[in-house]
Chain A
Amino acid sequence: DVKVTQSSRYLVKRTGEKVFLECVQDMDHENMFWYRQDPGLGLRLIYFSYDVKMKEKGDIPEGYSVSREKKERFSLILESASTNQTSMYLCASSFPDLEGTDTQYFGPGTRLTVL
Chain B
Amino acid sequence: AQTVTQSQPEMSVQEAETVTLSCTYDTSESDYYLFWYKQPPSRQMILVIRQEAYKQQNATENRFSVNFQKAAKSFSLKISDSQLGDAAMYFCAYRKTSGSRLTFGEGTQLTVNP
Interface residues of A (CB under 8 A from B): 4, 31, 33, 35, 40-45, 48, 50, 58, 90, 94, 99-104, 106-109
Given the known inter-chain contacts A42-B91, A90-B45, please indicate yes or no for A104 contacting B102, CB distance below 8 A.
yes
What is the interface of chain A mostly: helix, strand, loop, or mixed? strand
Q: Which residues of chain A are near B45, meaning CB under 8 Å?
A: 90, 106
B104–A43 CB distance below 8 A: yes
Rounded to whole angstroms, the CA-CA distance of A31 and B101 in the bound complex is 10
Q: Look across to chain B and name the residue whose beta carbon is closest to the beta carbon of A111.
A: B42
Which single member of B43, B102, B106 contacts A108 (CB below 8 Å)?
Answer: B43
A50–B100 CB distance below 8 A: yes
Chain B interface category by residue count: 20 to 34
A58–B101 CB distance below 8 A: yes
Q: Which residues of chain B are near A45, meaning CB under 8 Å?
A: 101-102
Interface residues of B (CB under 8 A from A): 4, 6, 9, 33, 35, 37, 43-47, 50, 52, 91, 95, 97, 100-102, 104-107
B100–A106 CB distance below 8 A: no
A101–B33 CB distance below 8 A: yes
Rounded to whole angstroms, the CA-CA distance of A31 and B95 in the bound complex is 14
Q: Provide 25 A-B residue pairs closer than 8 Å at the C-beta atoms, listed in order of the A residue.
A: A4-B44, A31-B100, A33-B100, A40-B9, A41-B106, A42-B4, A42-B105, A43-B91, A43-B102, A44-B104, A45-B101, A45-B102, A50-B100, A58-B101, A99-B52, A100-B97, A102-B33, A102-B95, A103-B47, A104-B47, A106-B37, A106-B45, A106-B46, A108-B43, A109-B44
